[in-house]
Amino acid sequence: MFLYILRRLIFAIPTLLLVAVAVFTLLRSIPGDPALLMLGDSASDTELTELRRHLGLDLILPLQFGKWLIQVLSGDLGYSITNGEPVLALIVERFQVTFVIVVTAVSLAICISIPAGLIATWKQNKGLDIAIVVIATLLLSVPAFWLGLILLLIFGMQLAWLPVVGYVALSDDFYQGLRYVLLPIITLAMVETGVLIRMVRSSSIEVLRLEYVAHARAKGAGELRVLLRHVLPNSFAPVLTMIGLILGHLLGGAAVLETVFTLPGLGRLLVDAIFSRDYPVIQGVLIFTASIYVCINLVVDFCYPIFDPKVRLE
């Protein structure tokens, strides 16, 4: 087990290095000058040259990459070009917002989608199944930003129950913070519930057709016991993979949703950095996102044997 973890962690190093090279090369190949974006159209050429030198953008690209890589390897992601803040501190600060929303929403989605998916499997091709499938399809078809805007319209504007803009950290004021994150959590949970219901249902139906399920039924096991004891554990592996992918994708930043709800999350940090060509922040966020993917994949792999004894880590 220890060796397996070690091997996986060692494999992650070339992946992250590759990401670093790709991110740096692609980023510098797109046009756009951070100095010009900072100074605007009224900047003189002298001012531009000076700012470029100050930001280290006058160095040749391999030198810039080398300097950045040495920094990253020593745990320093550099400083933001736009506001001079340390990139790591910015990422940690913004990630907390995204983490709370994404983890709560995905947990909520899991809690709803597993029973809903199993019920749909149990009542396959009957009215309840069709209703669940229709709702799930509707939820996953609706763009998150649209759903978010509609919820804002209803609960923020029409009913005036919840604030429309702003953010308060839960650690500062739990009650106020809850009011600000409720709608983004509900929006994200609704969308992801649709995806997960479909997944739970389809993988459960597959397992339901296997012989050992028929055997369990023949032994006289009730339908609930069959579903929970025999179907769910054996069909959970693909759902787990999907949860891992969803978490990896969303923790990297739900930029559109964060923009709609004016949340200072990781996604918005990345989008703002792209618009202002804030290279250190873009590079830092992308490396961080890649690391999240690697970690989540690792955790998912470790979880497989818990649900499926046939899977061995060695």
Residues forming a β-bridge with 79: 86
Residue closer to other proteins (CB basis): 189 or 197: 189
Residue closer to other proteins (CB basis): 179 or 217: 179
Residue closer to other proteins (CB basis): 174 or 212: 174
Question: Residue 165 CB, nearest distance to other proteins (Å)?
Answer: 4
Residue closer to other proteins (CB basis): 79 or 236: 79
Residue closer to other proteins (CB basis): 39 or 221: 39
Distance of CA 193 to the CA centre of its chain: 15
Question: Residue 24 CB, nearest distance to other proteins (Å)?
Answer: 17
Give the CA dihedral 258, 259, 263, 264, nearest 10 degrees: 100
Contact 248, 137 (CB under 8 A): no
**Interface contacts to other proteins, rule CB under 8 A:** 30-33, 36-48, 50-51, 54, 82-85, 90, 93-94, 149, 152-153, 156-157, 159-167, 175, 178-179, 182, 259-262, 264, 268-269, 272, 275-277
Question: Residue 33 CB, nearest distance to other proteins (Å)?
Answer: 5
Contact 192, 117 (CB under 8 A): no
Residue closer to other proteins (CB basis): 50 or 206: 50
Q: Tell me the angle at which helices 87-122 and 174-208 cross, rounded to the nearest 10 degrees.
A: 40
Question: Residue 90 CB, nearest distance to other proteins (Å)?
Answer: 7
Which residue's entry shows tokens 């969308």? 191
Question: Residue 184 CB, nearest distance to other proteins (Å)?
Answer: 12
Residues 196-233: b if buried by 16+ CB within 10 A, e if exposed:
bbbbbbebbbebbeeeebeebeeeeeeeeebbeebbbe
Q: What are phi and psi of 252, to 5 degrees?
A: -70, -5
Question: 3-class DSSP state for residue 85?
Answer: coil
Tokens matching residue 247: 């978490």
Question: Residue 9 CB, nearest distance to other proteins (Å)?
Answer: 32
